[in-house]
Amino acid sequence: MNEGLADKLYLLKYEVDEESHLVIKDQKTCRDCERKPCINRCPAEVYSWEGDRLQVAYENCVECGVCKIVCPYENIDWRYPRGGFGVSFKFG
């Protein structure tokens, strides 16, 4: 079986919290960032640019931590969701 990334992400099970576990520390830092690697590297497409703000669809997060790793300004406050929330079944 040769599944693509989208197929594997579809198999994840998670409980969405009303409180985000991903926080942008400073929107101006994101506006000034030329490459915006969080948008390009996140496999779950959590980040998008709308107007002059970086939007965070935290409910799509697969808890891989790539966004925190690739942000050159350490501008993303990333932590695991509260107990009982987030990914409960990880494929792979």
Q: Name residues whose C-beta falls within 8 Å of residue 72's C-beta, 6 or more positions apart in sequence.
A: 33, 35, 37
- Whether this model's pTM surpasses 0.85: no
pLDDT score at 58:
95
All domains in the chain, ordered by first residue? 22-81 (3.30.70.20)
* H or E stretch at 69: helix 66-70
d(CA 11, CA 8) in angstroms, rounded, equals 5
CA dihedral (37, 38, 43, 48) positive or negative: negative
Kindly report, residue by residue over 9-29, the tens digit of the pLDDT: 666 677 788 999 999 999 999
